[in-house]
Structure 1
Amino acid sequence: MGQKVNKRELAGILDVSERSLTEWQAQGMPIEVNAGRGSSNQYDTALVVTWMVERAKAGGAKESARDRLDRIRANREELAFAKDLEEVVVAADLIERFDAMITAAKVELLNTLPDNLASELSARYGVEVDDQLIREPIEAILRKMADYDPDDDALSDGDSDEPDDSEAAAEDRD
């Protein structure tokens, strides 16, 4: 048997509001002495703590509509605050930026790099370099990247310690 306390004392012990205790009473929290309307109820702290433990084991009480709305509003406010602090980003914004970066890189790799590199090599070595010699391998790499499937286990993870198929075949022949 625990200590007998009134609602205000129990609220202080449990560090909750008296309103929460009223809601918990409606959910089955034990009342030692129900003094009736206008009078102070008495609670056995041991019985209340036991009830709280059992309730927690069972997954707690169902969330009321008001509690759910309060929780959703609080989550929304936390998310807005985190966005303001730039601690989080919206996935759609990130994808849009990533797509723009990929497009810009492809334009540079397909258009600017082959022409500039061919001109530079031609000038440096005095030999006419066809920009298609540079463009074709780049296109092949970009096609391979476009076919990338993160769920495909057959693709290498890029670990340089693993031999590729040609190295493994060469080792088999030896």
Structure 2
Amino acid sequence: MSDKNKKSKGQVVNRADLANINGVSLPTIDDWVRRGCPVMQRGARGRAWQFNTAEVRNWRDDDIRAQAVEAGPATKDELILRKLRAETEQAELDLSKARNELVPVEQFDRAMTKAFGEVRAGFRNVLPSRAARRLIGESDETKMKEVLIDEVDQILLVLSDSDLIHETDLEVEDDEEDDDEGANSE
């Protein structure tokens, strides 16, 4: 069975999340799309881009292999430079980990799920009751829109002033730390 026939769930993410997950810029994502990166849904007015992370990862693996083949055999100097680049990147990654600037994707995902749950709850629990009181008897569409925009802005203001993600949401669990240490010592 070829790699392309393997099915992996992955996660559905937007353009910005895909860029963050891969540590690249938005223009890089645009370049990937132009070069054939799989897209679940193209963005348009009011519609976000959607990508499946597993499909993108598989495409990137194939793309990287294709670029390596196109490059042809490397010279000794090129291989030395590639090795130095890889060692530098690894040292920078290790430094970022030591400074606690990185968290595992699973924990970030869990924290973001919690944060978006808070946003959803704010809109579902607060917006209908507050807006309904202000809109009783209102028939002017412009006034209705102003009230709804004001209520949305109020909810977003409250949410921006609160900590949707706490440090504990990003902490590595002891079991995961032990696993990482065991893997590093081998």
Q: TM-score range by the shorter chain?
A: 0.3 to 0.5
Query: Using CA pairs below 8 Å that are at least 6 residues apart, which structure has the higher relative contact order?
Result: 2
Larger radius of gyration: 1
TM-score by length of 2: 0.31
